A and B are shown apart, each in its own frame.
Chain A
């Protein structure tokens, strides 16, 4: 007795490779086997595919050592880790001395400025370093190879960003990150966060000249 429906020839025929490699299971396997027993075309095809199977498995690949490959990868990871680390270091004691001297200098400067009369600045002359640039802030992003289109959209939504150019030949997108441009410090933080995001391979200040 069987508890499976007979398979049409075309379905049984297309499943033969997986009957051969042993991954068909249960009722599907039994149905294909039942069909093959009764079908001369499938029996012939089964023999041909078994021969192909043996030949594919017998093909050799060059004998290359995995160790050498891993050493290259390890060096690559070391280089990446090294690049992420600051390249100069000051001993703690020296840094502390500089910090004390700098703090004293700032205090002296503040006292001098306190007693210096201010010029009478007109409103139009007033300017601050924190004034945002006229153009919106742009960052360049190269997404990781595995990042899907949906994940790209999620990331853009996370940073309130909009692609305004790209991709370049190397996969670089220029992204406008906000309608109100962030400060340099905020932009730096954003770029750092993007650079460490697994969906992103590279993030940095934009090199693209995009018309706003």
Chain B
């Protein structure tokens, strides 16, 4: 029992590893129908994840197809050291970082946003803040985190990943995951005073 902590497990799982493995085996044998099934399972999770990292829907759509092309070509080399979803999200993570780096050579989309205005707005609405306001502010605040920090927040709070799974996806030590999350929280706290003021 939680004995007053009111902490409920909230894992977001979108696939079944046994089913994914069976599809991967068929994909390794060139079965396009299996690829279609896996694609439809992972399309929205990947689209959202890459979109959250890059901030651009066109890049996210391109990224999903890049990821699934890698799965098609390299399905046979999946070693089973992690779940299929962790493997695929790891490919998605690396693709997203590459797409973001490439796009930044052309446009500086996130830099220079007048965040002072956002902080002022945040203070102004804190008294009557509702969740929608917070979500809007959160969108802006998350853009001011590094891509790696955004990914850890998203993987923890949207996808319900353990820190070990995130370490496997980001290909980094577990302590790096904890440190990234710690710094992301600290920065979000500064950028979003409303997060604390209206806490129930």
Q: Which residues of A contact B (CB under 8 A)?
A: 13-15, 17-24, 33, 36-37, 44, 46-59, 61-62, 64, 66, 69-70, 72-74, 76-77, 144-146, 198
User: Can you add 18 more A-B contacts, CB < 8 Å, to A59-B158, A77-B72, A144-B70?
Assistant: A21-B157, A21-B161, A22-B8, A23-B11, A23-B162, A44-B196, A46-B7, A47-B199, A52-B195, A59-B135, A59-B139, A64-B61, A69-B64, A70-B39, A73-B65, A76-B65, A77-B32, A146-B91
Q: Tell me whether B70 and A56 are in contact (CB under 8 A).
A: no
Residues of chain B within 8 A (CB-CB) of A76 are: 65, 69
B77 CB–A CB distance under 8 Å: yes
Neighbour of A48 across the interface among B10, B138, B182, B195, CB < 8 A = B195
Q: Which residues of B contact A (CB under 8 A)?
A: 2-12, 32, 35-36, 39-40, 43-44, 47-48, 51, 57, 61, 64-66, 68-70, 72-74, 76-77, 91, 94-95, 98, 131, 134-135, 138-139, 153-154, 156-158, 160-163, 165, 178-179, 181-182, 185, 188-189, 195-196, 198-200
A83 to B99, CA, bound (A): 26
The smallest beta-carbon distance between A56 and chain B, in angstroms, is 4
Instruction: Please give me the residue from chain B that is nearest to A36 by CB atom.
Output: B5
Q: Knowing A17-B156, A58-B135, A198-B73 touch, does A69 contact B61 (C-beta < 8 A)?
A: yes
Pull 11 A–B residue pairs with CB atoms less than 8 Å apart, ordered by A: A18-B162, A21-B10, A22-B7, A23-B160, A48-B199, A56-B153, A57-B12, A70-B40, A145-B66, A145-B70, A198-B77
